[in-house]
């Protein structure tokens, strides 16, 4: 169940989009920014408020790659799998990230909810291939070694925060 | 402040021009996605600090009231030479500095801004020459920039600068000096073809929308550049957003439409941001909104963000997505020009097409037709990537040969020999050396003849270390992932084709696999619902046509000639190189490697799982794939 505060947050998002049904994708993007995924309760709430069926909102949410119904880690690492990155050997980088964090194609988020590793279709930064992003920051000309260092650095960041 | 009339606009433009002229030195820092990733924003910040520390007069935005001489510091769009980023140019001299670092800033200011000297170590050099000026570098010298005219030459976040560079003159001309029919005729006369892939005539499209009786019409800009290996549209939206907006306003005037949408894919946050700023500025100045420049014409513009679905680049899927639905294509007719967005007549063009509109209106169709070849007039932007020395964004006249693009502009092949070039993304095809494709001219019609397409303009160059079967598998994997699932040929067909290709690269292929691939290709191309499905098999068809021997090698000889498909390779230890250090045996997870210290080790192929750990671990490069 959503608490009062969460409902208020969702209401604010809905108001800023004028309760416009056609803007459902933008609304869900805002919600996802808030939670880093789309919680089922939030979808239900939005569907009710926009007067659309739960089936409809679910159908849209599951169609688009960017929406996730599962919680994601604090750092979302996306490895570009566009043609240019592929040609410049992005695959070993993906493998390195997965090995380094104990993740796989099916298990994408670490148990401590720190890291999510996924692939992304072309980011359009092909000139710097192969690239990856961490929470939308682009890292150019990656190598498996750089991937290892990056994870180390992010882990240090977390350790310093705690 | 809102500009109310054409006269007011002219007066303000003159002031901005004077203001721009007063900048005796301009520093343009590339702030496209590529260079930003390379740290260009830190360079911008550092330069600003140094200039302020030294008490030099600095301006970041053009002022309406020009006064003293100033240094202009600006974030521009993509300069194109992404391989050499972060890039920085100093005007009016046109000096281009490459691979600039924060630590170079002090010297740049000292020598080139306070002094008049080039920082020699930062300029581009090839085997023979060093080039201080951007325009002299072969990469730039051989290009013709129309759609990318401003990209990299203008502050991407400033409408003032766009106005000083004659921005919105075309829109004003369209508003006051031309009728809707005049505009449509001019575009038809210029024979502008859609730059998004299909190459459909823009003038015809506009004419059809203009003649619809419906009063509610839409202009939609397709910025859902989903083709992997393409970033032309992204660069235009990031680098010259007002140009896109101006093109759309003109389309609105031409077709009597009053609402516009720009659909941008979610992977392009910077493009969204720049467009948002530009729309705000254009609205504030009165180029968007009600009664533009007191002409009686209204036009508003919204950004609609995608959420990661390749299929949304298809017209009817894109409009469905803007409407808040699953982005799935529908059966046509009715076509988009009749019933597009919200069921109303809609002009749908891509970013580059809109960017070509203002110069055609300004300079006329005749001028436009001086570039390119018959029925393929004008220029085309390409994203040059892959195994090529100078990756980046380029624009050349239609009909330029591939050889010129790859070798003269692209600087040749990186690591190895030229093997193929993939053009047009997952809907396109691979072209190769043997068939004389290098001398093929890049235009809509000649590419069609060889089973490829210009697509949106991604050119991925591949060297001889790429396996074409693996490449076909890569594209099929992409298409299969992105298939929306609505029609069976695409949903099931791509899945089966992917399975067949997986079998081949993993060593289970037979000649029947190839036959079945051909049969499926034909069926999918003939029966899929939308353009993406129809072209899904193209990468397979073209590789089968031009690289059939590689497929045969995979299925008959069980060899991968390029040495890419691991399942068809085996690991061996070179006896001469092995020092007998035992590291490989220690890292091998299945104990397949044995030997005696200081003597060559051997791999037991029956145990080997081909993980590659030994190869990565060997310090003497003694482990080889054969």
Name the strand (E) or helix (H) holding B526: helix B511-527
> Is pLDDT of B494 > 90?
yes
Task: Judge contact between B167 and B246, C-beta under 8 A.
Answer: yes
pLDDT of amino acid B456:
76
Helix axes B241-255, B351-363, angle to 10 degrees: 70
Interface residues from chain A to B (CB-CB < 8 Å)? 21-26, 28-29, 59-60, 63-67, 81-84, 86-88, 120-129, 131, 136-140
Question: Touching check for B309 and chain A: CB below 8 Å?
Answer: yes
Helix axes B511-527, B488-505, angle to 10 degrees: 160
Average pLDDT of span B538-559? 94
pLDDT digit string (tens) for B209-224? 999 999 999 999 999 9
Distances (CA, A) of B424 to A46, B443, B461, B484: 40, 12, 12, 20
For residue B360, the distance in angstroms to the closest alpha carbon of chain A comes to 28
Cross-chain CB nearest to A124 (options B38, B225, B484): B225
| ipTM (interface predicted TM) | 0.91
> Is pLDDT of B246 > 80?
yes
Question: Touching check for B416 and chain A: CB below 8 Å?
Answer: no
Return the closest-CA partner of residue A99 out of A142, A154, A57, A148. Answer: A148
Which residues are within 8 A (CB) of B479 and not within 5 positions of it... i.e. 6 or more apart? Answer: B426, B490, B494, B532, B536
Residue with tokens 């290996």: B229
pLDDT digit string (tens) for B270-290? 999 999 999 999 999 999 999
The DSSP code sequence of chain A is: ---HHHHHHHHHHHHHTTT-GGGHHHHHHHHHHHHSS--HHHHHHHHHHHT--HHHHHHHHHHSTT--SS---SEEEEEE-SHHHHHT--HHHHHHHHHHHT--SS--B-TTS-EEEEEES--S-GGG-S-EEETTEEE-S--HHHHHHHHHHHHHHHHHH-
Q: Kindly list the residues from chain A whose CB atom is less than 8 angstroms away from the CB atom of residue B231.
A: 122, 124-127
Task: Specify the 3-state DSSP secondary structure of B82.
Answer: helix
pLDDT of amino acid B396:
96
pLDDT of amino acid A99:
92
pLDDT of amino acid B617:
86
Cross-chain CB nearest to B229 (options A59, A120, A126): A126
Q: Which residues pair with B423 in a beta bridge?
A: B429, B459
Q: Per-residue confidence at A161, pLDDT binned at 50, 70, 90?
A: confident
- The verdict on whether omega for the bond into residue B86 sits within 30 degrees of 0, i.e. cis, is yes
For residue A116, the distance in angstroms to the closest alpha carbon of chain B comes to 17
Percentage above 90 pLDDT, chain B? 78
| Strand B418-423 with B458-463, pairing | antiparallel
Q: Per-residue confidence at A11, pLDDT binned at 50, 70, 90?
A: very high
User: Which one of A124, A132, A140, A142 would you mutate to disrupt binding with B, by most B Cβ within 10 Å of its Cβ?
Assistant: A124
Average pLDDT of span B474-478? 92
pLDDT of amino acid B195:
92
Q: Kindly list the residues from chain B whose CB atom is less than 8 angstroms away from the CB atom of residue A127.
A: 34, 82-83, 85, 231, 383, 385, 391-393
pLDDT digit string (tens) for B88-122? 999 999 999 999 999 999 999 999 999 999 999 99
pLDDT digit string (tens) for A77-134? 999 988 888 888 898 899 999 999 999 999 999 999 999 999 988 877 877 889 999 9
Q: Kindly list the residues from chain A whose CB atom is less than 8 angstroms away from the CB atom of residue B475.
A: 83
Q: Kindly list the residues from chain A whose CB atom is less than 8 angstroms away from the CB atom of residue B386.
A: 83-84, 87-88, 129
Task: Judge contact between A118 and A78, C-beta under 8 A.
Answer: yes
B335: DSSP letter? P
pLDDT of amino acid B570:
87
Is the Cβ pair B324, A24 closer than 8 Å? yes
Range from B58-67, B338-347, B436-445, B590-599 carrying the lowest mean pLDDT: B58-67
pLDDT of amino acid A87:
83
pLDDT of amino acid B167:
96
- State chain B's mean pLDDT as an integer: 93
User: Buried b / exposed e across B510-533, counting CB within 10 Å, b at 16+?
Assistant: eeebbeebeebbeebbeebbbbbb
For residue B511, the distance in angstroms to the closest alpha carbon of chain A comes to 27
| Strand B58-59 with B23-30, pairing | unpaired
> Is pLDDT of B33 > 90?
no
Nearest CA in chain A to B394: A127
Is the Cβ pair B392, A21 closer than 8 Å? no
pLDDT of amino acid B173:
97
> Is pLDDT of A57 > 90?
yes
Is the Cβ pair A128, B85 closer than 8 Å? yes
How far apart are the C-alpha atoms of A69 and B179, rounded to whole Å?
51
pTM of the prediction?
A: 0.92
Is the Cβ pair A83, B482 closer than 8 Å? no
Average pLDDT of span B305-333? 94
Average pLDDT of span B540-554? 95
Task: Judge contact between B350 and B456, C-beta under 8 A.
Answer: yes
The DSSP code sequence of B161-200 is: HHHHTTTTHHHHHHHHT--HHHHHHHHHHHT-B-TTTT--
Cross-chain CB nearest to B460 (options A23, A84, A125): A84
pLDDT of amino acid B626:
80
pLDDT digit string (tens) for B418-452? 999 998 888 888 888 777 889 999 999 888 888 88
pLDDT of amino acid B397:
96
For residue A60, the distance in angstroms to the closest alpha carbon of chain B comes to 5
Which residues of B, range 597-626, sit inside 8 Å of A by Cβ? none
pLDDT digit string (tens) for B120-171? 999 999 888 999 999 999 999 999 999 999 999 999 999 999 999 999 999 9
For residue B304, the distance in angstroms to the closest alpha carbon of chain A comes to 8
> Is pLDDT of B381 > 90?
yes
Return the closest-CA partner of residue B223 out of B188, B187, B275. Answer: B275
Cross-chain CB nearest to B229 (options A122, A131, A138): A122
Range from A135-144, B44-53, B430-439 carrying the lowest mean pLDDT: B430-439
**What backbone torsions phi and psi does residue B299 show, to the nearest 5 degrees?**
-155, 125
pLDDT of amino acid B347:
97
pLDDT digit string (tens) for B249-267? 999 999 999 999 999 998 8
Nearest CA in chain B to A125: B34
* A-B Cβ pairs (cutoff 8 Å, strict): 136
Return the closest-CA partner of residue B255 out of B303, B218, B289, B201. Answer: B218
Percentage above 70 pLDDT, chain B? 100
């Amino acid at each position: 169940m959503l608490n009062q505060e969460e409902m208020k947050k969702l209401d604010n998002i809905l108001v800023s989009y004028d309760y416009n049904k056609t803007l459902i994708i933008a609304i869900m993007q805002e919600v996802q920014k808030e939670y880093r995924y789309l919680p089922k309760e939030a979808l239900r709430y939005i569907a009710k408020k926009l007067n659309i069926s739960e089936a409809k909102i679910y159908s849209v949410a599951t169609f688009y790659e960017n929406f996730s119904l599962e919680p994601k880690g604090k750092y979302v690492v996306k490895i570009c799998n566009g043609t240019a990155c592929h040609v410049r050997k992005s695959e070993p980088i993906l493998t390195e990230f997965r090995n380094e964090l104990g993740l796989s194609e099916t298990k994408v988020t670490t148990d401590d909810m720190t890291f999510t590793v996924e692939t992304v279709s072309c980011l359009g930064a092909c000139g710097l291939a192969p690239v990856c992003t961490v929470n939308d920051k682009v890292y150019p000309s990656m190598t498996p070694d750089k991937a290892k260092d990056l994870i180390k650095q992010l882990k240090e960041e977390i350790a310093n925060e705690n | 402040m809102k500009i109310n009339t054409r006269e007011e606009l002219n007066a303000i433009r003159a002031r901005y021009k004077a203001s721009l002229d007063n900048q005796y030195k301009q520093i343009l820092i590339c702030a496209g996605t590529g260079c930003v990733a390379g740290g260009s924003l830190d360079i911008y910040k550092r330069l600003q600090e140094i200039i302020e520390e030294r008490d030099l007069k600095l301006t970041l935005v053009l002022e309406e009231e020009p006064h003293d001489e100033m240094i202009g510091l600006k974030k521009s769009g993509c300069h194109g030479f992404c391989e050499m980023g972060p890039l920085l140019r100093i005007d009016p001299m046109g000096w281009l500095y490459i691979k600039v670092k924060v630590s170079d800033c002090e010297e740049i200011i000292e020598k080139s801004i306070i002094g008049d000297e080039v920082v020699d170590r930062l300029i581009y050099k090839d085997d023979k020459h060093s080039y201080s000026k951007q325009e002299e570098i072969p990469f730039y010298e051989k290009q013709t920039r129309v759609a990318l005219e401003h990209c990299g030459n203008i502050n991407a976040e400033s409408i003032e600068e766009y106005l000083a560079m004659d921005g919105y003159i075309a829109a004003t001309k369209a508003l006051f000096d031309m009728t809707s029919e005049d505009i449509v005729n001019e575009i038809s006369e210029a024979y502008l073809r859609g730059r998004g892939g299909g190459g459909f005539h823009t003038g015809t499209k506009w004419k059809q929308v203009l003649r619809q009786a419906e009063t509610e019409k839409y202009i939609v800009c397709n910025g859902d550049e989903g083709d992997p290996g393409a970033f032309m549209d992204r660069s235009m939206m990031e680098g010259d957003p007002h140009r896109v907006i101006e093109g759309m306003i003109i389309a609105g005037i031409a077709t009597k439409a009053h609402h516009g949408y720009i659909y941008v894919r979610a992977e392009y946050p910077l493009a969204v941001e720049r467009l948002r700023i530009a729309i705000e500025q254009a609205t504030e100045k009165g180029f968007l909104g009600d009664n533009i420049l007191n002409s009686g014409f209204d036009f508003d513009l919204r950004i609609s963000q995608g959420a990661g679905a390749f299929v949304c680049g298809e017209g009817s899927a894109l409009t469905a997505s803007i409407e808040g639905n699953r982005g799935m294509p529908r059966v046509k007719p009715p076509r988009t020009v009749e019933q597009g967005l919200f069921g109303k007549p809609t002009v749908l063009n891509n970013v580059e097409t809109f960017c070509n509109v203002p110069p055609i209106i300004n300079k006329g169709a005749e001028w436009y037709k001086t570039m390119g070849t018959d029925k393929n007039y004008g220029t085309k932007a390409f994203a040059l990537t892959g195994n090529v020395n100078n990756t980046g964004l380029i624009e050349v006249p239609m009909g330029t040969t591939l050889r010129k693009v790859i070798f003269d502009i692209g600087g040749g092949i990186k690591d190895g020999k030229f093997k193929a070039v993939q053009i047009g993304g997952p809907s396109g095809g691979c072209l190769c050396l043997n068939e004389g494709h290098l001398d093929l001219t890049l235009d809509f019609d000649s590419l069609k003849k060889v089973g490829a397409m210009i697509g949106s303009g991604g050119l991925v160059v591949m060297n001889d270390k790429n396996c074409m079967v693996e490449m076909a598998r890569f594209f099929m994997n992409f298409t299969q992932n992105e298939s929306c699932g609505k029609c069976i040929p695409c949903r099931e067909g791509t899945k089966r084709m992917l399975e067949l290709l997986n079998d081949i690269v993993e060593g289970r292929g037979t000649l029947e696999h190839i036959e079945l691939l051909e049969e499926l290709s034909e069926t999918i191309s003939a029966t899929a619902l939308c353009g993406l499905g129809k072209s899904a098999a193209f990468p397979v068809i073209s590789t089968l046509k031009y690289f059939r021997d590689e497929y045969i090698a995979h299925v008959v000889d069980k060899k991968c000639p390029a040495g890419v498909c691991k399942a068809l390779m085996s690991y061996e230890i070179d006896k001469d190189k092995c020092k007998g250090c035992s590291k490989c045996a220690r890292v091998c997870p299945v104990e397949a490697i044995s030997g005696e210290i200081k003597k060559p080790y051997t791999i037991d192929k029956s145990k080997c799982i081909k993980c590659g750990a030994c190869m990565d671990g060997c310090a003497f490069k003694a482990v080889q794939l054969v």
